[in-house]
Amino acid sequence: MTRPVVVAGLTGRMAGVIGRAVLDAPDLTLAARLSLRPGRGGDGPDGEFPGVPVVHRLADLPVADPVVVDFTAEEATAGLLEQARAVPCALVVGTSGLGDRHRRLLAEVGERRPVVVAANFSLTLLAVTRFLRELAAQADDSWDAGVTDLHFAGKRDRPSATAGHLAAAWQGSRPGAPAPEIASFRLGDALSEHRVVAAGSGEHLEVLHRMADRRAFLPGVLRAIRYAAEAGPGVRSLEDVVGAPAPGPR
Ligand SMILES: NC(=O)c1ccc[n+]([C@@H]2O[C@H](COP(=O)([O-])OP(=O)(O)OC[C@H]3O[C@@H](n4cnc5c(N)ncnc54)[C@H](OP(=O)(O)O)[C@@H]3O)[C@@H](O)[C@H]2O)c1
C-alpha cells in the first residue's frame, strides 16, 4: 500500500518539483493537487499531472488521511491550517514568512495532527545549523556573528526564514548575547544563498550555503512526508524527522 500525498499549489515552482518527486516515489501516491484559490484547475502549465484531481478544499479530497505538503504563500498556508482543524491529515509545511497567527494555528492543529514545519528542508542546511549551535556554544565573549541572505528579485519575505533560523541557531546557544545582524539582498535570479560570518578575537570564519536547484530540497521533504505519514500528533522540526528512524516499506 502506498501513502497518499496531496501537494498544495498548482503553478508553484516547489509544488511542481515536489509533485514530480511524489509521482516518482514507489511508496507514495500523488492523490490530488490542492489549489487554495477558487477557479484554478487543469493539469498544470505543461499538463504534467494528467489524471491527478485538483481540489480547492481539504474537505473535497478524494482520499482519507493524506499527507498534505504546503510550499505556497503565507495567506494560503493560514487558510490551509484553518481547514486542517476539521479534516484529518498530516501536514508538511515549508512556506516562508509565517508569523504569530501561523504559529498559533500550527500549535492548535498539532494537538490533533502530525505537522512538520521547517524554514529550510535542505539536510545540508540542517547540518550547518547544528555546526553553528556548536560553534556559538564554545566561542568566548569576543565572538559575534552576522548572516546575509541573497535571493531572486521578487522573493516575498525579507529577511528569509532561513536567515532568521540561522541567526536563531547562533543566538540560542549564547543567552544574553545580541542577535546576529541579518542583511538581505533581492537581486537577479539567484535561487538562494546564505552566508554566516562569525568573528572573534584573532580569527573569523564564514559558512556559505548556496542552493542552485530546488530539487536539493527533496531529500528533506520526502523524508518529512514519510515521517508525517507515520507520526502521532505534534509539531515537529526537520531535526526531529532526521533524528527518528527512517520508516520502512509499508
Ligand atoms: N522551507 C523550504 O525549504 C523552502 C524551500 C523553497 C521554497 N520555500 C518557500 O515555499 C514557498 C513557495 O515557493 P515557490 O518558489 O514554489 O513559489 P511560487 O512558485 O511563487 O509558488 C507559489 C504557490 O503559492 C500559491 N499561492 C500564492 N498565493 C496564493 C494565495 N493567495 N492563495 C492561494 N495560493 C497561493 C500558488 O498556488 P496556485 O499555483 O494554486 O495559484 C503557487 O502554487 C515560498 O514561501 C518559498 O519561500 C521554502
Which residues on neighbouring strands pair with residue 184, listed in sequence order?
A: 149
Q: Is the same domain home to 14 and 107? A: yes
| Nine-digit cell string for 152 | 531572486
Judge whether 62 lies within some domain.
Answer: yes
Q: Whose CA is nearest to atom 48 of ligand 1?
A: 94
Element (H, E) at 200: strand 192-200
Q: Is the same domain home to 133 and 80? A: no
Judge whether 128 lies within some domain.
Answer: yes
Q: Which of 38-47, 119-128, 181-190, 239-248 has the lowest mean pLDDT?
A: 38-47
Judge whether 150 lies within some domain.
Answer: yes
Please tell me the distance from the alpha carbon of residue 23 to that of residue 16, in angstroms, as a whole number: 11
Q: What is the DSSP letter of 188?
A: T
As a whole number, mean pLDDT of residues 173-181 equals: 91
Confidence of residue 249 (pLDDT cuts 50, 70, 90): very low
Judge whether 239 lies within some domain.
Answer: yes
Please tell me the distance from the alpha carbon of residue 8 to that of residue 92, in angstroms, as a whole number: 10
Q: Which domain holds residue 27?
A: 3-117+215-243
Of 84 and 156, the one with more pLDDT: 84
Q: Of these residues, 151, 165, 194, 209, which one is catalytic?
A: 151
- CATH code for position 238: 3.40.50.720
- CATH code for position 194: 3.30.360.10
Q: Is 129 in the pocket of ligand 1 (CB under 6 A)?
A: no
At 36-47, the pLDDT tens digits run: 887 666 545 446
Helix (H, G, I), strand (E, B) or coil at 130: helix
Tell me whether residue 56 is one of the annotated catalytic residues: no
Q: 2 C-alpha to center of ligand 1: Å?
A: 26
As a whole number, mean pLDDT of residues 1-25 equals: 96
Q: Is the same domain home to 12 and 107? A: yes
| Model pLDDT, residue 250 | 45
Q: Is the same domain home to 180 and 66? A: no
Q: Is the same domain home to 175 and 222? A: no
Q: Is 116 in the pocket of ligand 1 (CB under 6 A)?
A: no
Element (H, E) at 67: strand 67-70
Q: Is the same domain home to 208 and 219? A: no
At 96-153, the pLDDT tens digits run: 999 999 999 999 999 999 999 999 999 999 999 999 999 999 999 999 999 999 999 9
Q: What is the DSSP letter of 23?
A: H
Q: Whose CA is nearest to atom 37 of ligand 1?
A: 9
Looking at the CA of residue 8, tell me the nearest atom of ligand 1: 43
Q: Is the same domain home to 17 and 28? A: yes
Q: Is the same domain home to 201 and 235? A: no
Judge whether 45 lies within some domain.
Answer: yes
Q: Is the same domain home to 44 and 152? A: no
Q: Is the same domain home to 74 and 140? A: no
Judge whether 137 lies within some domain.
Answer: yes
Q: Whose CA is nearest to atom 21 of ligand 1?
A: 12
Looking at the CA of residue 94, tell me the nearest atom of ligand 1: 1
| Nine-digit cell string for 52 | 491527478
Judge whether 248 lies within some domain.
Answer: no
| Nine-digit cell string for 215 | 530539487
At 45-74, the pLDDT tens digits run: 446 898 999 999 999 999 999 999 999 999
Q: Is the same domain home to 9 and 24? A: yes
Q: Is the same domain home to 28 and 113? A: yes
Judge whether 64 lies within some domain.
Answer: yes
Tell me whether residue 204 is one of the annotated catalytic residues: no
Please tell me the distance from the alpha carbon of residue 204 to that of residue 38, in angstroms, as a whole number: 52
Q: Is 101 in the pocket of ligand 1 (CB under 6 A)?
A: no
How many domains are there within the chain? 2
